[in-house]
Amino acid sequence: MKAIPKHLKDRLPAGANEKLNSLEWRCQELSGIAVEAGTRLLHLNRNIDRLRSERERLSKGKANPGSASSSFRLRVDDHEAHGVSDRASDRERKEIDDRIASLVDEQAQLNEHTQLNSAELASLGGLIRTIDEWLQALPADAALVSYGDKASKAKEVTLDILEKRRSRVRELSAELRQIDAASYKTSDAKRRARELIETLAERGRPDIYRLIESLGAIQWPEFDISIAEKGPDGIALIAWLLRGDLIAALDKEIDATANDATALSDEQRIERFRVCLGDLLEAEREEEALVQAAGFRVIRRPDADPRAVLGLVSTLPGPKRELFHRRLIDQAFSKASLAL
């Protein structure tokens, strides 16, 4: 895992810096545990394979009871009866079976712990990358201030309580995507269609300067096919020639397709973003308080809000979200910052 640069961590308040260092230390600890577990698993697999080969050899009756072999073999004097030798072989096979069972049990437990450690390491590494990217993107003049005593403090934590809070985070994240995906209202779509047609029509207006001045050629609208080649811009010419008809036809299409019942204007979308983002950050702060107070192992979310994890003020920009209306989220953040 790549460590977060010192100059970025130095911008953080003392408590947030200490918290980030503890997360990085835990990542390093898990990486070391993974290496040790891998070595131990390799050793266990080799021992299990060796003992199984020994067991198979004994079962086939190929062992030489009078010779010394592994520690699991028993010496049998030449003068012993065959019955005594058979009982010795049975005891030896039983010892090997017990040892194999013990190693297989240890192998299963180690595999289980390794899977859990791997999940925690992957999630924690993802969270540290999220924090790193967030710190890198912050404006140079952003004041990184602790959220202070306003941070949530959990008294009792159970896995069920933590999961309910995370379920709320998922619900709000889904709501954020729904706000982003909502279509625009009919009036907005028609206004934008007019702007596009007007721009296209102006581009399609023929240039008759040479015609008037010297009865020269009309310069028809063109567009770039390549760096060195141009072609006639028929769509722009049609927009200039049939501007009103195109606008009327597009209005009809918009009326037939749009659904104002679920559509949002820019103003409505910004307000919905503002409320949802505020609720989401508060839910993540509560989740972080539960994680901190939990008396059991918790796998962190790699996409958690760094402001919640590090206990920083809400007026700082949130993490980058892959949403179409990112510019409106920035405006919603500005409004929320002014309100705070």
In Å, how far from its chain's centre is CA 299? Answer: 13
Residue with tokens 């012993």: 80
Burial class (CB in 10 A: 0-12, 13-18, 19+), 179: buried
Q: What residues contact residue 307 under an 8 Å CB cut-off, 6+ apart? A: 147, 281, 313, 314, 316, 318
What does the pLDDT profile of the chain (340 residues) look like in tens digits?
Answer: 678 999 999 999 999 999 999 999 999 999 999 999 999 999 999 999 999 988 888 877 654 554 444 444 444 445 444 555 566 677 888 889 999 999 999 999 999 999 999 999 999 999 999 999 999 999 988 899 998 765 556 678 899 999 999 999 999 999 999 999 999 999 999 999 999 999 999 999 999 999 999 999 999 999 888 888 888 999 999 999 999 999 999 999 999 999 999 999 888 999 999 999 999 999 999 999 999 999 889 999 999 999 999 999 998 988 877 778 777 777 666 655 433 3
Residues 215-240 as b or e (16 or more Cβ within 10 Å = b):
eeeeeebeeeeeeeeeeebeebbebb
**pTM, to two decimals:** 0.74
Distance CA 157, CA 315 (A): 28
- Residue 2 phi, psi dihedral angles, 5° rounding: -80, 125
- DSSP bridge partners of 207: 219
Distance CA 94, CA 87 (A): 11
